[in-house]
Amino acid sequence: MIYCVIPEALADELLEKMTAYYADDENVTVMVDRRKDSRRARGATAGGNQRTVRDRRRARIVGDLPDSPGPA
């Protein structure tokens, strides 16, 4: 399923055009985004404010790399 999401500010201009454009494609649903606030706004209470931001990159290996032999 593919969603074509149109911002509410552009709905008057684009909704009919995009609905007609994708009318023959049953895998596409055209919809208007009517959300007023971001779900991940600072201070949001979802999750009980227990969400922590972590660095997901792997820790670097301590030490130096051995010298590589030059071209043969």
pTM passes above 0.75? no
DSSP 8-class letter at 9 = G
The whole-angstrom separation of Cα 6 and Cα 33 is 6
Digit-coded pLDDT (tens) for 2-56: 999 999 999 999 999 999 999 999 999 999 999 887 666 666 565 556 667 777 7
Helices (H) and strands (E) in the chain, counts: 1, 2
CB 4 within 8 A of CB 22: yes
18 is written with which tokens? 């995009």
| Inter-CA distances, 11 with 1, 31, 64, 66, 71, Å | 21, 9, 57, 60, 62
